[in-house]
Structure 1
């Protein structure tokens, strides 16, 4: 769904450059310095309104989190939520995940989260799915050798496609969960979409994959 432009979005980005990093490509290989420590860095692609990344940052103060979001009005909502939480281990990027190699150096990221990504259900749009092989190539480049991809979705078609895509690319599946909320994982931080879908009784899928 196309998001309506919010007039105050530009002002928020201009006044919060310490949180939503401008010219993020210039920070490639230097994100640890920006955080001021050498803690692992986890990346959420499509951070939405910020509920997941804020919750994760609170739960894991010894991990640095970066969220990337293309929609300006949405990244501002996430920024507002992070700012209100006063977490100092979160940074945000207003940008396109198609250019991850321009933003991060080799092995700079420890975990990549793909939370409720657009499933792009039409076959001709497969290359836009965040688990398409061109994206996996980028993930492999920026991930630490022991790093992993964590995918959560309510879309069975995307989940099945992603399992096949991971397998064909040679990734090792470390977890395949077909009904995440049935197990009541106490460490699971829900996104806004996850709460919405779960309340409707929809099944939530999760998998973890690692490059060999």
Structure 2
């Protein structure tokens, strides 16, 4: 996602330290202190404008959620959207999702959401894909034992690549959906901005759920 610079969005960030964290290395191992209650923490890597992570926090108050985004303007937009609600189980982190071990301690996270990540289709860019083995190693480190990854995309090539990558890493699949919106899983599905845009056009949405063993 690329958006034009919006000064108001960037200026909004320092006004709400209760909801947004810039960088966050000092909170490594201490993220529970940012929430009203101590409960399992789920993170979304690349939250975009926040539609998914905000609605997940609304729907599941018994879990804590952290949305992570590297683009400052986009973070500001997500912050504006989050401020429309009172969500004591939500935090936003302005940081690079490629450096998760800088922000989270071993076993601090219970689930990782990867939604509509950049497919990086060229072979020479394989290492940038968020389901490449080096990223999987990081997720396993910050996740609890048997920690879960949920991955959604509209990109068939990236989905097929991810199935192979996770399988080769030794992960166990809980389920795989080749057309999410035509499955029973869609009953409880929370959409992202991109997902809604693609699904209304009739494009299939692919999803997998897997855990480390």
User: Structure 1 length as normaliser, TM-score?
Assistant: 0.97
Q: CA deviation at 1:85?
A: 1.7
Matches within 5 A, 1:19-98: 19-98=19-98
Tell me what 1:211 maps to. 212
Per the TM alignment, residue 186 of structure 1 is displaced from its structure 2 partner at its CA by 1.7
Residue deviations 1:40-76 (CA, integer Å, cap 9, x gap): 0000000011111111111100100000001111111
Listed as ranges, the gaps of 5+ residues in structure 1 are none
Aligned residue number for residue 201 of structure 2: 200
Could you tell me how far apart the structure 2 residues matched to 1:188 and 1:141 are? 27
Deviation string, structure 1 residues 148-168 (Cα, Å, up to 9, x no partner): 000000000000000000011
Partner of 1:190: 191
What is the distance in 2 between the residues matched to 1:126 and 1:12? 35
* Whole-angstrom CA distance in 1 between matches of 2:133 and 2:173: 16
Taking the aligned partners of 1:153 and 1:2, their CA distance within structure 2 comes to 18
Q: Shift of the alpha carbon at 1:172?
A: 0.6
Give the stretch that moved more between structures: 34-43 or 117-126.
34-43
* Secondary structure, aligned partner of 1:93: strand
User: SS where residue 150 of structure 2 aligns?
Assistant: strand
> 2:29, 2:105 within 8 Å by CA — same for their partners in 1?
yes
How do 1:63-212 residues align onto structure 2 when only pairs under 5 Å count? Answer: 63-184=63-184, 185-212=186-213
SS of the residue corresponding to residue 43 of structure 2 reads strand
Name the SS for the 2:161 alignment partner: helix
Deviation of residue 22 (structure 1)?
A: 2.5
Give yes or no for the alignment of 1:18 onto 2:50.
no
Structure 1 range deviating more: 96-105 or 175-184: 175-184
CA distance in 2, matches of 1:188, 1:34: 27
Using the alignment, how far apart are the partners of 1:23 and 1:171 within structure 2? Answer: 30
> Does the aligned pair in 1 maintain the 2:28–2:104 contact within 8 Å?
yes
Retained in 1: the 8 A contact 2:46–2:115?
yes
| Count of matched residue positions in the alignment of Structure 1 and Structure 2 | 212
- Segment drifting more, 112-121 vs 11-20: 11-20
Cα RMSD, aligned residues only: 1.0
Q: 2:180·2:206 contact (CA, 8 Å) conserved in 1?
A: yes
Q: Shift in Å at residue 194 of structure 1?
A: 0.5
